[in-house]
Amino acid sequence: MLYPPIEPYAVHRLDAGGGHRLYVEEAGDPGGIPVVFVHGGPGSGLAPVMRRFFDPARYRIILPEQRGAGRSTPRGELRDNTTWHLVDDLEMIRERLGVRAWLVFGGSWGSTLGLAYSQAHPDRVTGLILRGIYLVRRSERAWIYQGGLHHLQPEEWERFIAPIPAAERDDILAAYYRRLTGDDGEVARRCADAWMRWEAVNSSLTPDPGLIASLTADDTVLPAARILAHYVINGGFFASETQLLDGVDRIRHLPATIIQGRYDLCCPPVTAYDLAKRWPEATLHIVPGAGHSSLEPGITEHLIRSTDRFADDLSR
């Protein structure tokens, strides 16, 4: 279902202030429909396959790497790195690239940031395609980081909590954060490996050994884990648990599609359902037999149908 592999036609390194420089790719048709790909994580960066959800003959595909992620520098930097810095970065990128308004496409953390950006700048958004919804609510964080998910992944949960002494397991997230941001590099790397393995095994219905290896085997694992923990422990830097739900009225006029795997382990469907209840104009697809990953066949099919339909609607 994916479009054929393509290479970027342009690469930018943009100064975002505070010492941060952002890596941004552009692919597809320079005169096409602008779409911004908001990657997940936070802290994970881009992969070439992310260019392939869009018809390259119809879309101008803009793919930024968020602060501290991927090829943006300094890698893993937590200073001046909050959701609202990332929202400002997206708006800066839009202005620098001369885009009047763009389609927002994001999954997992990308759905979180996509919603935050769109609610802050609704006049700069033409529509939203969101997958694997994550609102960083306390219940969602407890599900994946404080034991809810262990009922489904007991052996992997034991591997996840192994680096944390029993006396500190009443708050697994805080214990990990202390180690990931501490001065002991060996401990930090060991915790990063365990953290990113836990993320990887819950990111698809069937664990992908290649994904597990890629997330735990190179120099990106510690920066990615640090940033992810930084955002989660701070509740996404939102003023309230329901900020993104309460802000839906600002974007209800925009066309929107929500795509959610029925058996998503890390972002359970109740979150997408709660969002859809507040946003009845949006189209919600609960995909049977699918988990979290955008590369699971049912998820991929819905994502590409959605980008094709959006382009068709604009061409009418």
Q: Which of the following is catalytic: 44, 108, 294, 306?
A: 108
Q: pLDDT tens digits for 137-189?
A: 999 999 999 989 999 999 999 999 999 999 999 999 999 999 999 999 999 99
Q: Please, what CATH class does the domain formed by 10-137+237-315 belong to? A: alpha beta
> 292, 294, 302, 306: which is the annotated catalytic residue?
292
User: What are the DSSP E strand ranges found in 109-264?
Assistant: 125-131, 256-261
**Position 36 pLDDT exceeds 80:** yes
Q: Identify the pLDDT of residue 209.
A: 79
Quick check: is 264 catalytic? yes
Q: Strands of 110-149 (E only): list them.
A: 125-131
Nearest to 263 by CA among 194, 203, 199: 203
Task: Label residue 249 by pLDDT band (50, 70, 90).
Answer: very high
Could you give the 3-state DSSP secondary structure of residue 103?
strand
Range 67-79 average pLDDT: 96
Output the average pLDDT for the chain: 95
Instruction: State yes or no: is 108 an active-site residue.
Output: yes
Strand runs labelled E in the chain: 10-17, 20-28, 33-38, 59-64, 102-107, 125-131, 256-261, 283-287
Average pLDDT over residues 203-211: 81
| Distance (Å, whole) CA 256 – CA 254 | 6
Res. 303: pLDDT tops 70: yes
Mean pLDDT across 257-266: 97
pLDDT tens digits, residue range 185-203? 999 999 999 999 999 999 9
- pLDDT at position 220 over 90: no
**Residue ranges of the domains in the chain?**
10-137+237-315, 139-236
**Which two three-digit tokens encode residue 173?**
């997230």
Residues in Cβ contact with 134 at an 8 Å cutoff, skipping those fewer than 6 apart: 108, 109, 111, 112, 140, 266, 267, 271
Q: Which listed residue (20, 39, 264, 306) is catalytic?
A: 264
pLDDT at 217: 65
Question: Which amino acid type is present at position 214?
Answer: S
Q: What is the mean pLDDT of residues 291-311?
A: 97
Known catalytic residue at 274: no
